Structure 1
Amino acid sequence: MKRLVPVLKKDNVNLELIMLIRTILAASKEIAFRVSQGDLAGVLGSTLDENIQGEVQKKLDVLSNQLLKDMLLDDDSVRAIASEEEDFVVAGHKGAPYIVAFDPLDGSSNVDINGQIGTIFTIYAARDDVADDSELQFAQQGKDQLCAGYVLYGASTLLVMTTGGPTRCFTLDLTHGGYLLTESECEIPVETKEFAVNIANYRYWSEHTKTYFNDVLYASEDYAGSSMRWNAAMVGDMHRIISRGGLFLYPEDSRPGNQNGKIRLLYEANPLAMLAENAGGKATAAGKRILDIQPSSLHQRVPVTLGSVKQVDEFNKVTVK
C-alpha cells in the first residue's frame, strides 16, 4: 500500500501544501487517540459553554478545536484559520500562502454514545487584497478549494481527501502511524436506494420537500425497498455515500435560524461537495451547485442535497420551483 506523501507527489501537489496537509493530519492522529480513550481520557460530556452556532460544546469539541488551532497557527504556511467553533477569523503568519477552515468535530452529539464523529477541513489560497484576519479571506467559492477532506474516527480512522483530482481514501496504520492509500478512486453510484435525512423534521419542511417524500420516495415503484440511514453526523453519512451511494438531505425548514438550512457552507458543505463531485456525485443547495455559491458570511448556512446524481436531480425536480 502507498503512503500519503508519495501519492500526493504523484498528483503533483505543491510540497508546501503537502506539508500543511501533514500538519492537519498530525492533529487528527492526536484527536483519534483521545477519541479511542473516551472516558479514560476525561473527554466525554459537555462544557457549560455554547459555540458561535448556539450549540452546547462537548469537551472533545473544545479539545479538538484547540489542537487544530495550535498546530495550524504554528505552521508558517498558514495565514489565517477559521473554525466552526470560533466567532472570528484568527490570523496566522503574515504573507503565508494558505488559509484553512475546519469543523474540528462534526457529529459531536455522538461522542458520549461512541457514535460516528469526524474532522472536516478545507484549504484555500490566501488573499493578498484583504487583511489576514478578515472574513473576506474566506469569501471564496468552493470550486477554488485547493484541498478538501475529512477524517472519520471509528473502528478504523479513515482519511477521505481530494486535492483537485480523484477523491481518495486512506486508512491510518496504527503500527507505523501513517495514512496508507486503501481506495485510489472513490466512485459514488449514479443511482441507489438509500437516503439520509432527519425525518423528525418532517413537520417543519416546505410542502415541496414533503411532496418529494410522499409522491416520489414513498410512492414510486422505482424506490420500493428504499432504506433510511441517519447518523446525526454529516461526516458519517457522507462516508456511507462515498462508499456505496445514496442521498443526503438537510433542507431548509420553518424553524427560527433554519430558513436557509442548517449546514455551514464553509466548514461542511463546500468541502463535502468537492469530495462528492470528484467521486462522481452531485451537491446542490436549492438546486444550485454548492461549489458555485459566493459566500456572504463566515458562518453562512445552506440547504444541502448531496449524493448520487439521479437522486439529487429527482429531489431538485420536485422541490426547486
Structure 2
Amino acid sequence: MAVPHVPLAPTLIGDLAAHGRCSGPAAAAADVVARLAAASAELARKIATRTTEPCVLEPWARALYRDAVTGADVAAVGMAGEAAPVPVTRGGSVVVTLVAVDEPANLGMDAPVGTIFSVLPVTDAVGGGLLQPGRRHLAAGIILFGPATVLALTFGHGTDGYVLGPAGFTSTRRGLQLPPESAVYAINAANARHWHRGIRSYVADLVSGSSGPRQRDFSMRWFASLAAETYAILSRGGIYLYPAESRAPYGHGRMRLVYEANPVAQLCEQAGGAATDGHTPILDLVPGALHQRTPLVFGSRTKVERVHRYLAGAPARHEDSPLFSHRGLFRS
C-alpha cells in the first residue's frame, strides 16, 4: 500500500548532524523513523474514521509499516504477530523491532492504542541484530493514537515529544524529564493474587496511603496499553509495574523484551528514569529469543529503585503473619 510522505519535524536531520551521527546506520535509523512516522499518520486516519474493525486493524497496520520500510537500508523487521523476522533489504545496515498496534481491543471502547518501535545496527550475532541488548539502540519510540497522535522519540541523546498536525509531526517538547515524585502507579491489580511477595508488599504500602509506612496517598490507573502508560509516565512521572507471577505461563513476565520492554526502557532512561526486570536494568538484558518475555518495572528512578529494594529484601514480620496483617488481631 502507498504511504504518503509526512515530515517528522524540520529539525530532525539537523539534530542528528549536531550530534555527529548522521552517517551509516545512524542515517538509516533517521530514515526509518521518518518512514514509520509517515505510515503512522495513515494509521491515525484509519483509527479516527473507524473504517476497520480492531481485529483486522492490527494485521493491516503490520502490512502498512512493512511497506513503509520497503526499500530502506533495513535488513529485517522483527514484528509482534510474526513468527520470524521479515526480511527487507539484503545487506541492510539496521534492523527494526515493531509492535504495530499495542492493545487493539482498546479501540472497541475508544481508548488509546499505540505503536512501539526501535532501530538497532546489524551485527554478526544470532538474529542479525534483533537479539542484542537495548543499550545498542540507534532509535526508539512510541506513537500514541488518542485525542491527538503523539510521538515520543529518542536517538540516545534525550527523549523528545512531537505531535501530528496538518503539516506532519512537529516538535512540542525537548528533553523530556520524568518528574522525580508522583503519586501515581500503574499496575493490573486483577493479578494481585499471583504476585510475588515483594510486589505484594510494595503495592500494599501504596494502598495503605497516608496511614501506612509511605505516609502519603497514591492513585492507581491502568490503560491496558503499554504505549499509553509510557506516554503518561513520560508526561507526569510515576511508576509502571508488570511483574513476574507465580502462575507458570507468566513466571518470566508478560512483556516482550525485544518489542516492548527494550524500546520503552530506552525512552525512559533517556528521560532520566529507570527500567528494570526487578533486579537487572532492562537495557542490559541479552535476549535469547525473539519473543522472549520479561517482567517490567519502569518510571521515575527513585520509585524503580524502591521496588528493587522490596524485591531484594526480606519482608517484615507483619507482612507474612496473620496476627500482624492489616486485618489481624493486633490491627484495627
Same fold? TM cut 0.5: yes
| 2:328 corresponds to | none
RMSD: 1.7
Q: Structure 1 residue 169: deviation in Å?
A: 0.2
Q: Secondary structure at the match of 2:250?
A: coil
1:34 is the counterpart of 2:46:
yes
| 2:106 corresponds to | 110
Aligned pairs for 1:105-144 (under 5 A) are 105-127=101-123, 129=124, 135-144=127-136
1:87 is the counterpart of 2:99:
no
The match for 1:68 among 65, 69, 72 is 65
Contact 1:116/1:233 (<8 A) preserved: yes
Contact 1:78/1:97 (<8 A) preserved: yes
| 2:234 corresponds to | 242
- AA aligned to 1:284 is T
> Identity percentage over the alignment?
30
Query: For the residues of structure 2 that align with 1:136 and 1:111, how far apart are their CA atoms?
Result: 34
From the superposition, tell whether residues 148 and 5 of structure 1 become closer, same or farther in structure 2 (CA, over 3 Å): same
State the 4+ residue runs in structure 1 displaced beyond 4 angstroms.
none
| 1:305 corresponds to | 297
Q: Secondary structure at the match of 1:137?
A: coil
Query: For the residues of structure 2 that align with 1:216 and 1:135, how far apart are their CA atoms?
Result: 41
Q: Secondary structure at the match of 1:288?
A: coil
Q: Secondary structure at the match of 1:222?
A: coil
Query: For the residues of structure 1 that align with 2:103 and 2:18, how far apart are their CA atoms?
Result: 33
Greater Cα radius of gyration, structure 1 or 2: 2
TM-score using structure 2 length: 0.85
Q: Secondary structure at the match of 2:214?
A: helix
Structure 1, residues 133-187: CA drift from partner, whole Å, max 9, x if none? x6353110000000000101111111100001010001111x22x2111001101
Query: For the residues of structure 1 that align with 2:135 and 2:275, how far apart are their CA atoms?
Result: 12
Aligned pairs for 1:1-321 (under 5 A) are 3-14=11-22, 15-38=27-50, 41=51, 43-45=52-54, 58-72=55-69, 74-127=70-123, 129=124, 135-173=127-165, 175-176=166-167, 178-215=168-205, 218=208, 220=212, 222=214, 224-320=216-312
Aligned length: 299
From the superposition, tell whether residues 102 and 5 of structure 1 become closer, same or farther in structure 2 (CA, over 3 Å): same
- AA aligned to 1:135 is G
- AA aligned to 2:270 is N
Q: Structure 1 residue 20: deviation in Å?
A: 1.9
Q: Structure 1 residue 313: deviation in Å?
A: 1.1
- AA aligned to 1:101 is T
Contact 2:279/2:308 (<8 A) preserved: yes
- Please, which moves more after superposition, 186-195 or 5-14? 5-14
From the superposition, tell whether residues 64 and 21 of structure 1 become closer, same or farther in structure 2 (CA, over 3 Å): same
Contact 2:32/2:72 (<8 A) preserved: no
Query: For the residues of structure 1 that align with 2:154 and 2:163, how far apart are their CA atoms?
Result: 15
| 1:49 corresponds to | none
Contact 1:197/1:229 (<8 A) preserved: yes
Q: Structure 1 residue 212: deviation in Å?
A: 1.3
- Please, which moves more after superposition, 218-227 or 299-308? 218-227
